[in-house]
Structure 1
Amino acid sequence: MSDRPVFVIGCPRSGTTMLQLMLHSHPRLAVPPETRFLVPVYYRRRTWGDMRQAQRRRALAQWIATDRSTKFRELKLDKDEFIEQVVDGPGSLGSVFGTAFRMYADRFDKARWGDKRPSYVKQVDMLLRLFPDAQFIHLIRDGRDCVASLKEMPWYTLDSFHAVSTWAEAIDAGGKLRRTLPEDTYYELRYEDLTDDPETELKKLCHFLDEDYSPSMVSPREAASVAVPQHKVWHRNTHGEVTRSRVGSWANRLDDWEISICEHILGDRLESMGYELTGAQKPSKEHIAASQKTMQKRKASRMRKGMRDRLNRLREPGPVAALLTSGQRAAAGVPRQRSELTESV
């Protein structure tokens, strides 16, 4: 049976929370609420030092468990037990993260863990450094619906041009992953297909994950009370049955100029993903220029961040890859444990 980590990725507001709950409803998978420690710690890993040193592991585990920015409290784990398990565990950065997620899975007596954060779609390279055996599920939704939904979020403070860029970046990142990752590592599905026929799509998804399909995945309402914090009122739809009520609702939620800019900037991407265009009139030169400027600024920011990370990789403070699952240990050349040998017979 597989013990590979599973990451749910995609554009924000594409239905990733619904998919998280479907996966969490599986008897062997646990996918927690979003945390906020993996990405910031990775990019500040030189500050935390060599995780082969127990005192360094302890310091990092204490920060993860106690700093309010990390959302560790939403995992509902015992802080002291987490810290001790990290100190007693393997000496690598990924192992520190993986210990938190593994303990979350243990809460529900489940064999595998996952994590959901839409922006991970642009950070898969980083995640594979941390978890070399990871699997990725990219949920894709009509970009116009994503833009419309982003505009309405209390936490989204950017304009429509940024929302358009966010979807374009997710689709472009997915295209690169589709071309470069093995078939057993990267999987795409559309929100519209998932909500139209959940059972069929989830059976295919379980095949990708090397898991038996469970009917409980189709109705994940019960999981919402566990895996969706109450304060996230924008996820209230996840507490009901799977619905298609929001499919195509962008037509009534976007202004005409926004539809025009979506179809002008995203048109080729939308059609490549099977979405039909309305033939909206060409947007104004001002809107086109503003959209292009936004996309260029965001691209430049990503390139600067990527360059800094490449430099940091030349002077790693210690091992990065996790050493917790059978695949992770195999990738590192660690001898197989007795339990693994027994399972393979």
Structure 2
Amino acid sequence: MERPIFVVGCPRSGTTLLQLMLHAHPRIAIPPETRFLLPAYYRRAEFGDLRVRANRRALGEWITGTRGHKFPDLGLDPAETVRRIEAAPPTLGSALGTVLQEYARRHGKPRWGDKRPAYIQYLPEIFRLFPDAQIVHLIRDGRDCVGSLKGMKWWEHDSLHSVVTWASAIDAGHEAARHCPDGSYYALQYEHLVADPAPQLSALCEFLGERYDPAMLHPETVASVNPKRKKHHARTHKNVDMAVVRAWEERLEPWEVQLCEYVLGERLRAYGYHLSGLGRPPAAVLGRYARTLARYRQAALRRGFKDGWHRLVSDDDLACRPGGSDHGLLTAN
């Protein structure tokens, strides 16, 4: 079985561009952003013993039929997908992997994966589902991520939360670099990617164990695989350029630049991003940021506690397995 590829990062860091660059490769298919992996992981107890065919069928129907899962964006036949999940090995990772593998099959490619920025915060969960996964972490100047998120109608948070989100993504990447098995985690920077794509993509292909293909330089040729409704991805239909590098200089107010550089300064400098030197943000801004950070950490702790308890009381096997037979499975309805 080919190793799955997961593209992660802070929102608005260029992950859609990288998804399309990978999708342009003749052996790799990365679909539009899906929304069923993490919900399935956290609701897995509801589906019961997946050795039972009826339970696998119910899981497949939940994946393909639940509003918000973005399954229609994949262009797959729901009934056929459910049948393939029924025939898959009896683990949650196998069921989820079957959907992504079917997407790759539809495009005539052997290798599959997924892209969602938020996965950077859930790498332990991803590895429980896909132990042989390869993580590709795209990093962009935090000020540009914050500035870009300001203009997104779907982003329901303020700039304080955006700063916390970028810092958390960077810190999660550092944890992954230390603890992931060799050959499982790779980081690259957006600014380097758009400035000189060929060597960056060539190095990425070497990590993935693939031969570099020049088609990857033209993600605009495959941009139509993503939904037209996502107007914020309009730039992916154009040639790769550096037009939005340092766009934060126009998009951020002085206090936002101050906050970014004050709380993210060490992380920014570590990646070669130069600071403006605007100085310390107002005390009121720092107080609001501290409260936002505290709420973010509390939510992460609650999520971790809930998952830890579930893992303590349940010894279920989640890992994606190769194959597609019903050997040794229970067929009761």
Tell me if TM exceeds 0.5: yes
2:282 matched to which residue of 1? 284
Counterpart-to-counterpart distance in 2, 1:305 and 1:128: 17
SS at match of 2:216: helix
TM-score (norm 1): 0.92
1:240 corresponding residue in structure 2: 238
Partner residue, 1:178: 177
Which residue matches 2:102?
A: 103
Tell me how far 1:180 sits from its aligned partner: 1.1
Partner Cα separation in structure 1 for residue 220 and residue 276 of structure 2 = 35
SS at match of 1:319: coil
Confirm or deny that 1:296 pairs with 2:303: no
> Deviation at 1:51?
1.2
| Alignment match, 1:275 | 273
Paired with 1:252 and 1:133, the residues of 2 have a C-alpha distance of 42
Where in structure 1 do 4 or more consecutive aligned residues deviate above 4 Å? none
CA deviation vs aligned residue, 1:100-133 (integer Å, no higher than 9, x gap): 0000000011010010000000101000000000
Shift in Å at residue 47 of structure 1? 1.0
What is the aligned partner in structure 1 of residue 66 from structure 2?
67
Matched with 2:321 is: 323
- Tell me, in whole angstroms, the C-alpha distance in 2 between the residues paired with 1:50 and 1:76: 29
Q: Which runs of 5+ in 2 are unaligned?
A: 324-333
Aligned to 1:58: 57
Query: Residue type matched to 1:236 in 2?
Result: A
Q: How far apart in 1 are the matches of 2:315 and 2:63?
A: 19
Contact 1:50 1:317 in 2 (8 A): no
Match of 2:188 in 1: 189
- What is the Cα-based RMSD across aligned positions, in Å? 1.2
- Counterpart code for 2:120: V
TM-score (normalizing by structure 2): 0.95
Q: 1:337 matched to which residue of 2?
A: none
* Mapped partners of 1:255, 1:69: distance in 2: 34
Provide the rounded CA distance (Å) in 1 between the counterparts of 2:187 and 2:314: 32
Is contact 1:14–1:141 with CA below 8 Å preserved after alignment? yes
Show the counterpart of 1:213: 212
Asked whether the 8 Å contact 1:121–1:170 carries over to 2, the reply is yes
TM-superposition CA deviations, 1:4-39 (whole Å, max 9, x none): 000000000000000000000000000000111111
Superposed counterparts of 1:130-279, under 5 Å? 130-226=129-225, 228-279=226-277
CA displacement, residues 52-79 of structure 1 (integer Å, 9 cap, x when unaligned): 1111100010111111221111111111
Letter in 2 for 1:243: D
Distance 1:93 1:265 in 2: 39
User: In structure 1, what residue type is equivalent to 2:186?
Assistant: Y
Q: Which runs of 5+ in 1 are unaligned?
A: 326-345
Deviation (angstroms), 1:316? 2.8
Q: Deviations over 1:156-206 (max 9, x none)?
A: 121110010010000010111111113310000000000011000000000
Encode CA deviations 1:194-220: one digit per residue, 9 max, x unaligned. 001100000000000000000000111
CA distance in 1, matches of 2:228, 2:314: 39
Measured after TM superposition, the shift of residue 48 of structure 1 is 1.2
Query: 2:28: which partner in 1?
Result: 29
More displaced stretch, 8-17 vs 275-284 = 275-284
**CA shift for structure 1 position 281:** 1.8
Alignment-derived partner of residue 335 in structure 1: none
Q: What is the percentage of aligned positions where both structures have the same residue?
A: 48
Residue type at the aligned position of 1:127: I
Cα distance in 2 for residues equivalent to 1:293 and 1:159: 13
Count of residue correspondences: 324
Deviation at 1:222, TM superposition (A): 1.6
Is the 1:7–1:135 Cα contact (8 Å) retained in structure 2?
yes
Q: Matched residues in 1 for 2:59 and 2:309: separation? A: 22
Contact 1:45 1:317 in 2 (8 A): no
- How has the CA–CA distance of structure 1 residues 63 and 317 changed in structure 2, closer, same or farther, with 3 Å as cutoff? farther
**1:21 is matched by which residue type in structure 2?**
L
Q: Distance in 2 between matches of 1:254 and 1:171?
A: 20
**Offset of residue 324 of structure 1:** 2.1
Inter-partner Cα distance in structure 1 for 2:322 and 2:7: 20
- Secondary structure, counterpart of 2:51 in structure 1: coil
Hey, what's the Cα distance between the residues in 2 that align with 1:37 and 1:51?
A: 17
